[in-house]
Structure 1
Amino acid sequence: MTRYCTVVPISGPRRVLRKTYLEGYTIPKNTTVLINLHSLHNDKSQWRHPEKFLPDRFLDEEGNLLSHEGLIPFGLGRRKCLGDSLAKTCIFIIFAEVLRRYSVEACAPSTGKTVFGLTAAPEKYKAKFTPRFK
């Protein structure tokens, strides 16, 4: 899996089940917490150039897919998003079919800016799709 931006920047809410100590802070039992996925996915101690789209960061020398514990776009554990496998499968099928049918070319370079709201999305851009078959 590659990442361009964190689509849902905050995960949660979650409830702390017992008194917890984290990074010098005490979190009391039954505290509601939110997880800042945007911060995690842009942590320079975890990622080389987190602001850049670098799909090769998830490939080893032979081109095999690597996983990274710092990438959790669908959450973790019992409360992991139920749509995880469906979303990944749909994205793969649609992307593969578009690339099979069309040659895709950017009309202008992207600035890489993200439009933030309840979810995050890339800025508007234009691309030219040329059919591979006639």
Structure 2
Amino acid sequence: MKKIVCSALMLLFAFGSVHAADMDKAKLMAAVKHAHPLPNLMRVIVKNQDMLALSEEQKQSVADWMEKHRPIVKELAMSIRDGEKALHEAALNGATKEEMMAKLDELLKKRREIAELKIDCRDTMRNLLGYDKLQEVLELYKDM
């Protein structure tokens, strides 16, 4: 009986760990989506590489772009999330208008950085994939 109970507990812990990892990923995706209104084309490109008939060179270029820029966007998005919480708390705790506007300016600067990276990504993918393949990506994105 102890073995069954221990096995059941281990199974629950395993499922809990997987669920927690999924929740962390979901929170990150929500934070990134909240941080800017621009489309995330990389997810569509990576998911549909074969359908888009990307060459090995194109696949590697996409992977290189993601490896370089994804951590930057992630850090900015999480920083925006944390900064919004701090701004909210500052408002509740009686911060001055000047203090709050300074915090808001920092948030807006980070949002702009993400927007610039997303626009650079779109333009880079247009150059890498060509106009027609980028149009396919945009249609796939719209269908999501």
* TM-score clears 0.5: no
Question: Comparing both chains, which one has the higher relative contact order based on Cα–Cα distances under 8 Å and sequence gaps of 6 or more?
Answer: 2
> Scaled by the length of structure 1, what TM-score is found?
0.24
Write 1 or 2 for the structure with the bigger share of helix: 2
Q: TM-score scaled to structure 2, two decimals? A: 0.23
Q: Which has the higher strand share?
A: 1
